[in-house]
Structure 1
């Protein structure tokens, strides 16, 4: 029965968007990070990202895989272009802790990735937009 299935809740694992200096292109770029603020090692981490605009336009779908994300660490996932900030951007995160599979969808509403919503982020010594 469905009521007998225990679905674990994702806690202290975040997706964040950070504006940082890119030495190679001498510009400020927005980067997506996964932040593991938990005390557990995340294994077989997969992140799928895509954006959808209200007029029907869609971004490409990106998929990223990481063997593990250590406790109290963050990893850079991808570059996100400012042109897609008008889209609803979705990040689907899936990972294992031991034998349990965890899954969560993080959504950035249109125009929610901006300087206006920047705050101090956990683990990394930077400010950015924390997705929930």
Structure 2
């Protein structure tokens, strides 16, 4: 039965961790975003995040976005720097039209850092991107 389920490949949807200045607290924070670079809206977006290593595991965080419009992005969560020494996963599921899509984005340990910053699509920011 499982072999009969077809889940197509996700394209033009990314997860980025962006280094941003926080006006309220006057600090530089790292925030995770989901980016929809498609020409269509994403519906019922479910994001499940967690961090892990050989001997540590974080709590699981869940976020639901009813609609992520085409060519837009939404904030997922603030990520404390102490979690960068862990592998951080973002499991993303969504509907585009009547089709379900699913993909796991992985930020390997120590890959989120200031030296790895690059331009992020649709955002006027620099960060670390996983496609």
The residue aligned with 1:9 is: 9
**CA–CA distance in structure 2, aligned partners of residues 64 and 5 of structure 1:** 25
1:70-89 map, 5 Å? 70-89=69-88
Q: Could you tell me which runs of 5 or more consecutive residues in structure 1 were left unpaired when the two chains were aligned.
A: none
Deviation string 1:58-113 (CA, Å, 9 cap, x unpaired) is: 11110000001000001111000000100000000000011111000000101000
**Number of equivalent positions:** 131
Stretches of structure 2 lacking an aligned partner (at least 5 in a row)? none
RMSD of Structure 2 on Structure 1 (CA)? 1.2
Instruction: Provide the rounded CA distance (Å) in 2 between the counterparts of 1:4 and 1:85.
Output: 38
CA-to-partner distance for each residue in 1:36-57, whole Å, 9 max, x for gaps? 0010100000101000022x21
What residue is the counterpart of 1:44 in the other structure? 44
Residue 96 of structure 2 corresponds to: 97
Residue aligned with 1:125, SS = coil
Which runs of 4 or more aligned residues in structure 1 lie more than 6 Å from their structure 2 counterparts after TM superposition? none
Q: Identify the residue that residue 67 of structure 1 maps to in structure 2.
A: 66
CA contact (8 A) 2:45 2:92 kept: yes
Structure-1 separation of matches of 2:40 and 2:102: 15
Distance 1:61 1:3 in 2: 28
TM-score by length of 1: 0.94
Match of residue 119 from structure 2: 120
